[in-house]
Amino acid sequence: MKPLVWVFVEQEEGKVHPVSWELLGKAGELAQELDGVAEALVLGHQVESVAREAISYGADKVYLIDDPVLQYYRNEPYAQGVINLCKKYKPEILLLGATPVGRDLAGSIATSLETGLTADVTGLEIDPKSKNLIMTRPAFGGNIMASIICPNHRPQMSTVRPRTFPLPTKDPSRQAEIIREELGLREEEIRVKRVDFIPKDKVVNLEYAEVIVAGGRGLGKAQGFSLLKELAQLLGGEVGASRAAVDAGWIDYEYQVGQTGKTVRPKVYLALGISGAIQHRVGMQNADFIIAVNTDPKAPIFRIADLGLVGDLYQILPPLIEAIKKERGHGKA
């Protein structure tokens, strides 16, 4: 039997997290090296369209568990569903997004299957000799990179950060089989019940922003972020922050970029008053272009910046905002 490279497809109300398609693209590459197949797991309620979408993103087969119990994500039924599928089909590799859902789920699955799990992976390759999966991740706050293998247990599991791999091209004409499976759990058996959901006013989508205006300790005060927000809005981007700014309480954790925050790869990343500790750099060094403004010429951020400006961000920001407003006005006229 051909080795199976599996991807758990994460969806909320039928809307798929792009990391799942990024992983499906990578799974295709890994499967090729193993002479195997890339397959998708779709769990949810009324999600057949998601199964078809998975095929168009490269799945050679889709396992679909469609059950009202899976209406929204909960650890217990989702873990049970994936564990049952793994026991039945014995995949070689199982990949999940390193998202709140993926991380919640992966630890439960790996423990029940008594296999290894590598978190927050930023690189995947097949060892040409042993055919083991080599999973690379930052360790010790990003100070070192560690390659991890799981030689004697299957599946080899990892959670992978969004934006680690490119989004594959969608091909709606692709055809593949959809296998329907039963969950085998009733609502009464599930111990955690959702009684309410409070949606966020604004979902911060840092991972997929094209421009990020990020601030750090150098802002000196929480109010500094209002200037950054204005600039980000003008550019159609998002605000980001270093851990120092988040720890200071100037901005919410969900804006944090870095090893303990999000991994981003915008077209342009403006690092304002960010010293660029390694733990921050691992989250943003893959930006296409990095502009850094900092008063300290020795700040490590300048070692990776494409354009480094040594100076006071409060001197540069107001005239920059004015200049962009002018440009925008020009464009509209």
Partner 1 sequence: MNILVSIKQVPDTTNIRINPETGTLVREGVPSIVNPYDVHALALASLLKRLYGAHITVITMGPPQAEEALKEAVEFGADRVILLSDRKFAGADTLATSYTLAEAIKYLAQEAPFDLFLFGKQAIDGDTAQVGPGVARRLGVPLITYAVKLEIIDQEKKEVIVHRKTASGVEVLKVTLPVLITCDKEIADPPFSPLPELIKAAQTKPEIFNAQRPIPYKREKLGLKGSPTRVHRVYTPQLKSAGDILFVSEIGVSEAVEKIIAVLKDRGIL
User: Which parts of 184-223 interact with partner 1 (CB under 8 A)?
Assistant: 191-200, 203, 210-211
Interface with partner 1 (CB under 8 A), residue from 46, 222, 226, 310: 310
SS3 (DSSP) at 152: coil
SS3 (DSSP) at 100: helix
Kindly write out the interface string for residues 63-102 of this chain, putting x where it contacts partner 1 by CB under 8 A and - elsewhere. Answer: ----------x-xx--x-------------------xxx-
Query: Least distance to partner 1 from the beta carbon of 83, Å?
Result: 9
Cα distances from 61 to residues 55, 177, 180, 275, in angstroms, run 7, 5, 11, 47
Among residue numbers 232 through 261, which ones bind partner 1 (CB under 8 A)?
A: 235-237, 243, 253, 259-260
C-alpha span between 313 and 292 (Å, rounded): 10
State yes or no: residue 327 binds partner 1 (CB under 8 A): yes
Query: Least distance to partner 1 from the beta carbon of 95, Å?
Result: 15
Kindly write out the interface string for residues 131-170 of this chain, putting x where it contacts partner 1 by CB under 8 A and - elsewhere. Answer: ---x---xxxxxxxxxxxxxxxx-----------------
Query: Least distance to partner 1 from the beta carbon of 210, Å?
Result: 7
The token pair at 69 is 């119990």
Query: Least distance to partner 1 from the beta carbon of 293, Å?
Result: 8
SS3 (DSSP) at 314: helix
| DSSP line for 77-96 | HHHHHHHHHHHHH--SEEEE
Count of positions on this chain that bind partner 1 (CB under 8 A): 94
Query: Least distance to partner 1 from the beta carbon of 249, Å?
Result: 11
Binding piece for partner 1, criterion CB under 8 A, among 49-57, 84-92, 178-186, 296-304: 296-304
The token pair at 136 is 């690379």
Which CB sits closer to partner 1, 151 or 166? 151
Interface with partner 1 (CB under 8 A), residue from 5, 23, 86, 106: 106
Which CB sits closer to partner 1, 61 or 260? 260
Binding piece for partner 1, criterion CB under 8 A, among 1-9, 61-69, 215-223, 274-282: 274-282
Query: Least distance to partner 1 from the beta carbon of 144, Å?
Result: 6
What is the CA angle 314-230-309, rounded to 5?
Answer: 35
C-alpha span between 17 and 120 (Å, rounded): 16
Report long-range pairs for 259-265 (Cβ below 8 Å, ≥24 apart): 259/138, 259/141, 259/142, 259/283, 260/141, 262/162, 262/206, 262/207, 263/122, 263/161, 263/162, 263/163, 263/164, 263/207, 264/163, 264/206, 264/207, 264/209, 264/212, 264/240, 265/163
Which CB sits closer to partner 1, 52 or 281? 281
Phi-psi region of 117 (alpha: psi -120 to 50; beta: other; left: phi over 0): beta
C-alpha span between 156 and 189 (Å, rounded): 30
Query: Least distance to partner 1 from the beta carbon of 89, Å?
Result: 19
Which CB sits closer to partner 1, 179 or 307? 307
Which CB sits closer to partner 1, 37 or 119? 119
C-alpha span between 311 and 250 (Å, rounded): 22
Query: Least distance to partner 1 from the beta carbon of 175, Å?
Result: 32
Among residue numbers 24 through 63, which ones bind partner 1 (CB under 8 A)?
A: none
